[in-house]
Structure 1
Amino acid sequence: MNKAKELLNKLKEFVSLHKVVCLSAAGAVCAVAVTGIVVAVVLGNHSKADTVAGVETAQEETMQTIVMATVEEVTEETTAQTEAEEETETEVIETDSSLEFEYDGKKIVISADKPVELIPEEDLADKIKEDDSTTEIGGDVEVDEPDSGNSKVNDTAKDYDIIVDNPDKTVTAGEEYAPLAGVRIDELYNSSAPIGFTITDEAGNVVASMTGDEVKNYGGNPEDIKVTLENAGNYKVHYEYTAPGMTVTETVNGIDVSHWQNDAGGIDWGAVADAGYKFAMIKVAGRSIGDDGNLYEDNYFRYNIEQATANGIKVGVYFFSQALSVQEAYEEASYTLNLIKDYNITYPVAFDWETSSGYRTCDRLNKDELTSICEAFCDTVKSHGYQPMIYMSKNDWVNKVHTNKLTSKYNVWLAWYFYKYYNSPSNRLYEDGDEVPDLDFGYNIWQYTSTANIPGINGACDMNVAFATTYKSGDTKTKDITIRVEKKKGEPETTAPDKDNTTETTTGTTTGTTSGTTGAAETSGTTAANNAETAAPVQ
């Protein structure tokens, strides 16, 4: 029987007997109606409001009400309506903030801004069966030799050290010496880094110094700062640089697994953790690749997530999708969230979309359809407080979906294999500084091979590197060099004065002087910046 007609008949019975219908909306699907008042379906595990005669309480923001029709709009339909008409797929309406469609006769609105009511587990029971796949699932992932056109060097983990071009310097007593000439931070131009210096003689007396801030505020090129060392001998020059805090991208190594790794010999999660792998994306469930499209739970999901967590590995999950509609994506998200609700998920919940010859999804979806399917899954997941993610191969990301629309809203898991890792005889794995894919969109996790061998897993394993953006406080770098000060020709060599007889003020005995181009300075143990004009920080 047509569902609208069935509902109408029930409402007519209530209205004729009681004139007003009042049902609780909390935790159930409720129909509420008065003659001429809106008939609504309230979806609500998360609903805390009651609906009375079509009027919601002040808690209505916690409840998702889906309007179906008014009583006056529900008209009698002929019983001659064909089965084909009843099964006609309803239109998917997408707005900037939500996705609307019909599921099982109800209008569903999926929005990431408030919890989407999930399909009850019992309503999915007839669609859940054991996975009967006989071959390992995996779509077509590109295997390439990286070159300048598709890869870039990931240098975000580079450790910037102090570089001195000519550390073995010899100067003559009484002549000017430029302690910051040829001194820089790694590959950065020297004046962009405020490097401080301290010069001490053989007795440990400080003869000249400038802090990094004094160098930064110096009114000229730091290479023009000069120091005059009056006495012959060996002098220690101590350089110090404190990097500013910055947002950096750090890499984290991890794996993804499913029952295939367990079937091949099991997973020793303790050994995986001891090998240094910090996260695991674990298959929670999937949809079969055949025409029936049954849902199934991965046979080892519970074991894998419990053992990984017990060994200190952060976990995310993925659902292997074969959805052909937003309705099926909604089913997949509901099934996934029901399965993971009792676990501590610290990495994203991923929508794994793959296709290949023989799959039910092969060549059956256009860009608009697949993009909407991704949104339906991801927004349902996000509405329940998880971080959604989409897994696709490079080719699918570029050609099968509206890339910018999805990558601007969701985390991206990119599958793209490089030859240096794929089937590598030496089991080559990613290291910081290796080339990474260069694409027009960003990505959060890169799956770079499916053929790795690692401790704790028998057989091949998918390898991933996650790119985590964090704020890092500045590190302090130091470097020491020794310079030789030779006596002037024709003068006897003198020794450095005892530390007790040397002061570090402008009125004491001087053993060295500093000067700069913006203002001459003759100081002992002080800096040219004291008498130089203050300038804006050197950029």
Structure 2
Amino acid sequence: MRHLGKVLLGLMLVLAVACSRTPPQGGGGGGRYVAGTVPQLGDSQPHEWRNGHPYNHAVHGIDISRWQGEIDWARVRHAGISFAFIKATEGGDHNDPNFQRYWREAAAARIPRGAYHYYYFCRTGREQAEWFIRNVPREVGSLPPVLDLEWTHSKTCPRRPSSAEIKREASNFLDIVGRHYGQRPIIYTTVDFYRDNNLGDMRAEFWLRSVADHPRMTYPGQRWAFWQYTGTGTVPGIKGDVDLNAFAGSSADWKRWLSTRLTR
């Protein structure tokens, strides 16, 4: 009986340890995580994903700007990060001071990377396209450029143009930049901006921000290539929070996408 008691105690301890295990950080305990390759990623403010867990996607990446500071790109790559979008320019006269360094370092770490432009409503699409082209190299193997369209809280430009003006000027940017790099830019946008301006009829691939639910719930019927699922992500090699993103398809889909969408 004494031996049996020790066996039962051991089983109880094993069960206690098993029950104490938590889902991957960022899972929120929602029970919606299915399977697949989960990078060593986390979230400093995790929540429950009710309609589709981002970790069910096989391919993950980051988007960054000067605020990420020093980055250990080798650790980032080994953590499972498959791509990086780097802020390059804003408006018609501002560039990110860390862009050129990040651009070189990401390439050295063999992480596919692309540049994004933050749109400013007091400059024309042409002016902003020309500024982007002046600051971003046209390099073989780069990801397509990105146009970041969202409402801003700029003290120097408080105006909110009409939807027609926004789409006209943004289309000018897409056309000019697309011709220069040989790849039509991706549009990044947020839920409110997308709805306010009916962006679904624009000719572009979409990168959608949706940090509270799956994009199929927040952007019904909209096809997308990338999903920004948190602004409070954590990645080995980066200090502090960072934006995390998922690619829409499988690892095989990602390879096929790269084969058609990289700059040549």
Say which SS state the counterpart of residue 332 (structure 1) adopts.
helix
1:340 and 2:136 are equivalent in the alignment? yes
Q: Is the 8 A contact 2:208 2:224 kept in 1?
A: yes
Amino acid at match of 1:410: A
Instruction: Give the aligned partner of residue 26 of structure 2.
Output: none
Deviation at 1:436, TM superposition (A): 5.0
Cα deviation code 1:338-386 (max 9, x no counterpart):
2223534532211112324445554521110111122111111111202
Q: Is the 8 A contact 1:374 1:390 kept in 2?
A: no
Greater gyration radius? 1
- Within 1, Cα distance between the matches of 2:156 and 2:249? 35
Larger RCO, structures 1/2 (Cα 8 Å, 6+ apart): 2
Instruction: Give the aligned partner of residue 247 of structure 2.
Output: 466
Deviation at 1:324, TM superposition (A): 3.1
Instruction: Give the aligned partner of residue 172 of structure 2.
Output: 376
2:186 is aligned, of 389, 408, 417, to 389
1:450 is aligned, of 231, 238, 242, to 231
2:205 is aligned, of 389, 394, 411, to 411
Cα deviation code 1:399-440 (max 9, x no counterpart):
1x232321xx10111112128xxxxxxxxxxxxxxx554322
Say which SS state the counterpart of residue 278 (structure 1) adopts.
strand
Instruction: Give the aligned partner of residue 430 of structure 1.
Output: none
Deviation at 1:284, TM superposition (A): 0.9
Say which SS state the counterpart of residue 248 (structure 2) adopts.
strand
Change (3 A) 1:415 1:154: closer
Say which SS state the counterpart of residue 370 (structure 1) adopts.
helix
Change (3 A) 1:152 1:269: closer
Q: How does 1:180-259 map to 2 (within 5 A)?
A: 251-259=58-66
Amino acid at match of 1:279: F
- Within 2, Cα distance between the matches of 1:312 and 1:339? 21
Cα deviation code 1:219-254 (max 9, x no counterpart):
xxxxxxxxxxxxxxxxxxxxxxxxxxxxxxx74100
The alignment covers a number of residue pairs equal to: 205
- Within 1, Cα distance between the matches of 2:230 and 2:242? 8
- Within 1, Cα distance between the matches of 2:61 and 2:125? 27
Change (3 A) 1:359 1:446: farther
- Within 1, Cα distance between the matches of 2:134 and 2:58? 31
- Within 1, Cα distance between the matches of 2:164 and 2:48? 31
Cα deviation code 1:149-202 (max 9, x no counterpart):
xx45789x7xxxxxxxxxxxxxxxxxxxxxxxxxxxxxxxxxxxxxxxxxxxxx
Say which SS state the counterpart of residue 396 (structure 1) adopts.
helix
Amino acid at match of 2:64: V
Q: Please, what is the CA RMSD of the aligned residues?
A: 2.8
Amino acid at match of 2:201: K
Q: How does 1:70-469 map to 2 (within 5 A)?
A: 147=50, 151-152=51-52, 251-262=58-69, 266-287=70-91, 295-324=93-122, 328-384=124-180, 385-399=182-196, 401-406=197-202, 409-418=203-212, 437-438=216-217, 439-468=220-249
- Within 1, Cα distance between the matches of 2:215 and 2:167? 26
Cα deviation code 1:493-533 (max 9, x no counterpart):
xxxxxxxxxxxxxxxxxxxxxxxxxxxxxxxxxxxxxxxxx
Q: Is the 8 A contact 2:121 2:160 kept in 1?
A: no
- Within 2, Cα distance between the matches of 1:441 and 1:368? 20
More helix by share: 2
Change (3 A) 1:357 1:340: closer
Say which SS state the counterpart of residue 331 (structure 1) adopts.
helix
Cα deviation code 1:76-111 (max 9, x no counterpart):
xxxxxxxxxxxxxxxxxxxxxxxxxxxxxxxxxxxx
Amino acid at match of 1:260: W
Say which SS state the counterpart of residue 457 (structure 1) adopts.
coil
* Bigger mean CA deviation after superposition, 381-390 or 358-367: 358-367
Q: Is the 8 A contact 1:414 1:447 kept in 2?
A: yes
Q: Give 5+ residue unaligned stretches, structure 1.
A: 1-142, 158-249, 288-293, 420-434, 473-539
Q: Is the 8 A contact 2:208 2:215 kept in 1?
A: no
Amino acid at match of 2:127: E
Say which SS state the counterpart of residue 441 (structure 1) adopts.
coil
Change (3 A) 1:342 1:382: closer
Change (3 A) 1:154 1:257: closer
- Within 1, Cα distance between the matches of 2:215 and 2:195? 17
Q: Is the 8 A contact 2:175 2:184 kept in 1?
A: no
- Within 1, Cα distance between the matches of 2:165 and 2:133? 23
Amino acid at match of 2:207: W
Change (3 A) 1:144 1:405: farther
Change (3 A) 1:308 1:455: same
Q: Is the 8 A contact 1:284 1:297 kept in 2?
A: yes
Q: Is the 8 A contact 1:319 1:350 kept in 2?
A: yes
- Within 2, Cα distance between the matches of 1:336 and 1:356? 19
- Within 2, Cα distance between the matches of 1:402 and 1:305? 33
Amino acid at match of 1:341: P
Change (3 A) 1:463 1:471: closer
More strand by share: 1
Change (3 A) 1:366 1:457: same
Percent identity over paired residues? 26
Instruction: Give the aligned partner of residue 29 of structure 2.
Output: none
Say which SS state the counterpart of residue 417 (structure 1) adopts.
coil
Instruction: Give the aligned partner of residue 172 of structure 1.
Output: none
